Structure 1
Amino acid sequence: MIETAIQTFTSPVVLFFMLGLLAAFVRSDLAIPEPIAKAMSLYLMAAIGIKGGVAVSKSGIDATVLSALGAGIAAGFILPFFAYAVLKSFGRLDRINSGAVAAHYGSISVVTFVTAVEILTGQSREPGGYMVAVMAAMEAPAILSGLLLARGMTSAGGAQSSKEMLHEVFTNSSIVLLLGAFAIGMIGGAQGFAEVSPFFEAGFKGILCIFLLDMGLIAARRMMDSRAITWRLVAIAIFLPIVNGAAGTVLGVAIGLDAGSSATLGVLCASASYIAVPAAMRLALPEADPGIYLTMSLSITFPFNVLVNIGLISALAVALTETAGILP
């Protein structure tokens, strides 16, 4: 575990994220222009999608892939119910805000996923390429569960809002790009990817470092500006990723995934969305407070996952797979 923690904290992507946090806390004027940040985000999603598709084209779709997809979808549906109970009882949030925040903690963070894959690959535990599809599949179930918890879908207005929300989810730019790039990778295969691999391979780590620098700046500045977060919500924003991450890792090992893929499933369960789900909640639950769900997911859970929890989940996955006799 100590070795895993050292590898995590000495990873350039984590160090750049810490630099962003530090720069924001000392009130530096360091900033990444919005168009550049958007372009980096598009590049990272396209790169991770196409590389995942190529990996699946090599291995094929088998029982392992289908089991991972089923586990991810089930987790997306179930995790918000646990989060809702904690938020409503210990967090003392009302029904609407509890449901909105719960949706974030059943969904996923693409950037956390990309960071985890990079760290795990550096530890010689690269996850299966099919985990990209698992990530994309976990988005919508969590939003549906969160909406049901917050107010249900029984009224006419609610049904219309839910229809618009579902359209927003399934046409969200990150989902369209991830799944589209994944399909391109599967269709083109290794031979097709060879033509564009210099672009998607050579610059990936460097762009991820600068993107994490920007995320560190945003997370710290939002945390400093927030006035809606209580100590109870801070505790929940750390508690949920620990419990959800451990549960996802155990689930991955239980269905026979290798250490890297089990850890990645754990990271997906531990992460909290701060892009797709906030957009959906803004449309479907406009009365929910963005100052709560955005600050918790982006400014508390995201840094905690990047700095601490990815390393913990990786160590747990290695220990469990060794105990179960699963090859790394």
Structure 2
Amino acid sequence: MQSLLDPAILFFALGVFAGLVRSNLEMPTAISKFLSIYLLMALGLKGGFALAASGLTPSVASSLGLAVLLAVVVPLVGYVLLRRVLSGYSAAAVAATYGSVSAVTFVTATQYLESQQIAYGGYMAAAMALMESPAIILAVLLANSLRQKQAAVTTQGVGMTDSGAATLGGAGMGSGGAHQGSKRAHNLSVGKILHESFTDGTQLLLLGAMVIGLVTGDAGKAAMQPFSGDLFKGMLCLFLLDMGLSTARNLPAVRKQSPWLLAYAVLAPITHATLALGLAWLAAVPAGDAVLLMVLAASASYIAVPAVVRYAIPEADPSLYISLSLGVTFPLNIVVGIPVYTQAVQRVWGG
């Protein structure tokens, strides 16, 4: 109950309430964008300062390695399960959403750990950055595989309906050329996605700020403390107020989803967090880092991945992955998940 009295959580609840009662309270788009930029910059700086203090230790390396492993396993398992109830394209899109991460959920978790006086490595911001792209890349590869299979089936169908060896040969050459053109288009699409994933503004800002923090060390930390330290909590409260409003706007779309998908939106984060808990325990990851690994594994992207997937997999239904991640999983993690994950780690670690 004490975790619900955190100002950040209460401002999120205020935003949801304001949206549900159809208040005219809103956050200007420019302000929302500024707040997200600020949070990413401050988070990157904190991670860089922490990494400068600790260095690249075996503990740091194991935490980052587990993050990458989770970023690959979670979307692949999610795709296999979702394929039973969704089309291949929508399953890939939803799997990518749940295989990637939510920066706001991660930032909220770091603030919760600080309020509970639980130490964690600031370098976990690098883990968050590493976990954002693999799910997107896997989803695009899965979608391209589906398109190629459909193209092959179509080509076979055309070949079966043609008559005469000359006609069939001509059709085969035409379809082969079309297939090669389609393949080139798919390869180009993957190239674009790879480029966007690794040069995305959020990624560049987060990693760039981390490098700056790493290079400047203690001197940079002292200079930036009023900006990246003192203001951080208030900025997070404002951003969560806006996220509460966005969550409320997505609730009508949530009610239209099937019970199976709603169950996935609730149970998948718990399952992913449990997997992260087991891996962290086996690798002897520090308690605070283990909590953040659970949070990252349980979170779902509602900004970066949907923006890329809409372009890369237009066959998927956007109402699925946006409404589930923002309308169900995000508030579940913010209000309930973070304190539960923390308690689970404390019990397993004996703290």
Cα distance per residue 1:111-147 (max 9 Å; x no partner):
0000011011111113211101111001111112222
Residue 319 in structure 1 maps to residue 341 in structure 2? no
Q: Deviations over 1:235-291 (max 9, x none)?
A: 111111010011112212221112111010000000001111112212211111111
Alignment pair present for 1:139 and 2:132:
yes
Which residue of 2, 5, 24 corresponds with 1:10? 5
SS of 1:151's equivalent?
helix
Which residue in the other structure is 1:34 paired with? 29
2:9 partner letter: V
CA deviations over 1:23-59 (Å, ceiling 9, x no partner): 1111111101110111111111100110111001000
Q: Supply the distance in 2 between the matched residues of 1:170 and 1:146 (Cα, whole angstroms).
A: 15
Partner of 2:313: 285
Equivalent position to 1:235, from 263, 267, 290: 263
> Is residue 226–residue 295 contact of structure 1 (8 Å, CA) maintained in 2?
yes
Q: CA RMSD in A?
A: 1.4
- Whether the aligned pair in 2 keeps the contact of 1:250 and 1:320 (CA below 8 Å) is no
Identical aligned residues as a percent: 43
Q: Is the 8 A contact 2:254 2:324 kept in 1?
A: no
Q: Which of 44, 47, 64 is 2:42 aligned to?
A: 47
| Residue number in structure 2 paired with 1:119 | 112
The structure with the largest alpha-carbon Rg is: 2
Alpha carbons 1:161, 1:283 under 8 Å: kept: no
Aligned with 2:83: secondary structure?
Answer: helix
Give the counterpart letter for 1:117 in structure 2: T
1:296 to 296, 300, 324: 324
Instruction: Give the TM-score, by structure 2 length.
Output: 0.87
Find 2:143's aligned residue among 124, 146, 150.
150
Match of 1:138, SS state, is: helix
Contact 1:228 1:292 (8 Å CA) reproduced: no
Instruction: Report the AA paired with residue 319 of structure 1.
Output: R
Letter in structure 1 aligned against 2:243: M
- Number of residue pairs aligned between Structure 1 and Structure 2: 316
Q: Which residue of 2 aligns with 1:269?
A: 297
- Pick 1 or 2: higher relative contact order, CA cutoff 8 A, min separation 6: 2
Partner of 1:221: 249
Measured after TM superposition, the shift of residue 76 of structure 1 is 0.5
TM-score, normalising length: structure 1:
0.93
Distance 1:226 1:316, change over 3 A: closer
Deviation of 1:225 after TM superposition, in Å, equals 4.6
C-alpha contact (below 8 Å) 1:96/1:151 kept by paired residues = no
Verify the 8 A CA contact 2:68 2:131 in the aligned structure 1. Answer: yes
| Residues 165, 283 of structure 1: 8 Å contact kept | no
Stretches of structure 2 that go unaligned for 5 or more consecutive residues are 149-182
Conservation of the 8 A alpha-carbon contact between 2:4 and 2:335:
yes
Deviates most, 166-175 or 44-53:
166-175
**Counterpart-to-counterpart distance in 2, 1:170 and 1:80:** 18
- Unpaired runs of 5+ in structure 1? 1-5, 323-327
